[in-house]
Amino acid sequence: MKRLQETVCPFSIEEELDFSEKFTRTYQENHSQDISTCEAACLAVQFPACMCPPQDGDMFVGRYYSPLVQFSPQPGFMDMGYCMDHDKWDRWQKSGQLNRQQEETCRRLSEFWQENGTKYFISSHYPPNVLQWLPYENYFQDRAVAHPLYRMSGTHLDYLKLLTLGVDGLHQQIRKKQQYAALEENNFYQALHSVLDTFSRICESYVDEIERLLSQTDLNSNWREELLETKRSLLQIAHAPALHFRDALQMVYLWWIYSGSLNFGRMDTYLSEFYVNDLSSGFLTQERALELMCGFWQMIELKNRIYDSRIVLGGKGRKNETNCDQFCLLAIDTIRKMRTTAPQVALRFYHGMDETVYDAAFTAIGEGCTFPMLYNDDVNIPAVSHAFGVSEEIAEHYCPYGCGEYVLEHQSIGTPSGIINLAKALEVTLYHGKDLETEEVLGLDLGGLETYQTFEELLSAYQRQVEHFVTVLAKMEELEYIYSGRHCAFLCFSMLFDDCISRGRPLLDGGVRYLGGTLESYGNVNTADSLTAIKLSVYDKKIISSENLLQALRDNFSSNPNLRRILTNLPKYGNEDETADSMLVTVHDHICDTIKESVKNTIMHSYLAVIINNDANTVLGHLTAATPDGRGSGAPLANANNPQGGADRSGLTAMLHSIVKPSIQNHAGSVQNLKLNKEMFSENMIAKTKALLSVYFQNGGSQIMITVVSRDEMEDAVIHPERHQDLIVRVGGFSARFIELGKDVQQELLSRTLHG
């Protein structure tokens, strides 16, 4: 199927500024009242105004235009809640599109939202120590050990509740609680009614738009039929529960856009009954169901949220496994047919699950789809239970989201979050708290490499540095929750989380059952390999002096390339080498346990590390000096729990044995990327490949993301991108068309060992 047309902006600049001023006035008129009342009023201005008409080929409605000023949990730039897109204003200015009056309007809006936006409201309440140690927000350009992140991602909503109760059923559920509510709770409930009314208006506005399109005499006949079916679905879901599979897909997509949730959760558990019932009744054929799923996939890809858009299939705890597995097979067929970079699909598998589903997944992976990613329930559920402090029955609801973090579906949240660069933490520990290249003070001055008399003294100093930043980051995360909860009700989330309606509380004001936090940890492997190198070369064997090593790191090995060769040839994680692997376990356990323990001084239920990756290993690598493992200044850091690119020289089996050594019981997600040669999925090799991965999972492997490719194909794609439009690779926590990646990310992918 061809890719859909890009969304057409529904506004002129003048109209968008008029909308932004109206939204701002609505906020000003209501912000002194209850936060739920204010948010509901603002959402009623934003929707359906920012919803865009369908375009030829669309099988579903729900195109959305992101305006200059809006309410969004995660708008796509580093912000959350009430926010203004200052980058858009900057683009307008640079392109000369604004007249003097429009420029003045933008300036006035900017001044207001700089003081009243959610991010600014949160950061204005940071104490001095948080401001001192987390001074920079932009991890793409600012050199720092740690950064705050502003977003409300990873929410997984109860779509089954939405589909089976419908709008009117949710109104009724709210009214039952409302009759016993106190004033503050009543405001919350009234706001939920308003949010449902706005959703109904979205559906009704699309019915009007479809009727306008149907009045056109030159309309494509196939699309006319699609529009008629879409109209029927919209009339159904505007107030009532979904009746058919198409209704369910449309309702889920519209709420996904409306809420800004960005992830879909365990899709087979809420769509399978609609799918199977339509098949059984003859209302739908399998061929038509696949067409609908492909159209649904296209709309998700159109949203272009490649770091999110997670769909989870399979897993323990499903009510009707047989029907769910039928939907899983349909979803995997869709993956194979569409070959898109979004949605990101994960398959949770377990001993006793229908092998047909796993085999279908393996076929899709072998064809180079990168999806589904594989998650091993037999080890993940006990691990989630231990890390989150919940029963295994509750842990069965775990969902990987974003780039691989875990939450409990419609019971817990895990962001906003922060970033810590362990390689940078080691860098400043080696150099009196300073950046090796700029000499800017970025951390605690605990000494320098030349002052640490033993390796144990160095390791202790590094750990103190990390603990210092984790303490600050934990406080920052707590404050993000407290003050975003005082500024936003997140009504669309609160509607479909388990306890918010029953408690009469918004999500972050006592509504969510498990208030969880996460901290993204990067550079773990480089830090461990660097500590191994320092221990062996400086302290144990004394073949490199601390002064020479520091100088080499400062000048990026230019004065001593031989020293770099020595460091590069020392033991590295990923080769089943006990010296290197045990150091990685030390670094891993320290960061994970430190984060986990720091929750004791916060209001959060859990605070856990996530060893994930989008392309932050490349981004943060640009801002990190040369490291003692031999990595050059500005080069990418190792990807998540994977060996540094090219460092796993002992073969695939050794690498798989290494990456199961770090514990999975003390964090909220860790990802493993594997690059396999196409030959490993040939008819002669596929059984051996499947057996190899089976042993990996039996040994405790929790997860794997596989790119199947040939090196020649990737190298040719760098030179002749036009020949490789469909080459999809797994970068880290997202998939991408190889030719659309930056040259630095392409080179990082090429540096990874191709096994097989």
Give 189-223 pLDDT, tens digit per residue: 999 999 999 999 999 999 999 999 999 989 999 99
Say if residues 637 and 620 touch (Cβ distance below 8 Å): yes
Q: Is the dihedral of CA 739, 742, 744, 748 positive or negative?
A: negative
Share of the chain above pLDDT 90, in %: 90
**443 by DSSP, 3-state: which?**
coil
Yes or no: say if 479 and 73 are a contact pair by the CB < 8 Å rule. Answer: no
Measured distance CA(119)–CA(133) in Å, rounded:
18
Average pLDDT, the chain: 96
Residue 650 to residue 298: CA distance in whole angstroms: 41
Angle at 346 between CA 342 and CA 351, to 5 degrees: 165
Whether residue 365 is contained in a domain is answered as no
Q: How many domains is the chain partitioned into structurally?
A: 1
Q: Which DSSP state fits 78?
A: S
Residue 306 has pLDDT above 70, yes or no: yes
d(CA 60, CA 233): 10
Using only C-alpha atoms, what is the Rg of the chain? 26
348 assigned to some structural domain: no
Per-residue confidence at 15, pLDDT binned at 50, 70, 90? very high
pLDDT of residue 611: 96
CA–CA distance, 637 with 647 (Å, rounded to integer): 12
Q: Indicate if the pLDDT at residue 588 is higher than 90.
A: yes
CA distance 260 to 42: 15
Query: In terms of residue numbers, what domain contains 486?
Result: 418-672
Which pLDDT tens digit goes with each residue over 627-680?
A: 999 999 999 999 999 999 899 999 999 999 999 999 999 999 999 999 999 999
Residue 26: pLDDT band by 50, 70, 90 thresholds?
very high
What are 728's strand-pairing partners? 737
Burial 673-707 (b: 16+ CB within 10 A, else e): bbbbbbebbeeebeeebeebbeebbeebbbbbbbb
Going by C-alpha positions, the residue among 32, 18, 58 that lies closest to residue 209 is 58
Average pLDDT, integer, range 55-76: 95
3-state DSSP call for residue 324?
A: helix
pLDDT attached to residue 614: 75
| 178: phi then psi, degrees, rounded to nearest 5 | -70, -30
393 lies in a domain?
no
DSSP 537: I
Q: Is residue 511 part of a domain?
A: yes
Residue 583 falls within a domain, yes or no?
Answer: yes
Rounded CA-CA distance 302/295 in Å is 11
**pLDDT level of residue 1 (50, 70, 90 thresholds):** low
Tokens of 241: 């529960």
Task: Please indicate, yes or no, if residue 43 is contained in any of the structural domains.
Answer: no
pLDDT in tens, 237-265: 999 999 999 999 999 999 999 999 999 99
Of residues 407 and 415, more confidence is placed in 407
| Tally of CB atoms within 10 A around 76 | 17
683-740 pLDDT, tens digit each: 999 999 999 999 999 999 999 999 999 888 999 999 999 999 889 998 877 888 999 9
CA distance 619 to 746: 13
| Residue 161 located in a structural domain | no
pLDDT band at 443 (very low <50, low <70, confident <90, very high): very high
The CA-to-CA distance between both ends of the chain, in Å, stands at: 32
Distance, in Å, from the CA atom of 394 to the CA atom of 396, rounded to the nearest integer, reads 5
Q: Which range among 63-72, 175-184, 556-565 shows the weakest confidence by mean pLDDT?
A: 175-184
Helix (H) and strand (E) counts in the chain? 29, 20
Task: Work out the pLDDT band at 748, boundaries 50, 70, 90.
Answer: confident
HSE-up (13 A, CA, CB side) for residue 714: 27
Report the half-sphere exposure of 130 (CA within 13 A, side-chain side).
Answer: 19
Structure confidence at residue 744 (pLDDT):
87
Q: Is residue 559 part of a domain?
A: yes
In the beta sheet, which residues pair with residue 441? 434
User: Does residue 1 sit in helix, strand or coil?
Assistant: coil
Q: Residue type for 180, please?
A: Y
Residue 338 has pLDDT above 70, yes or no: yes
* pLDDT over 90 (residue 101): yes
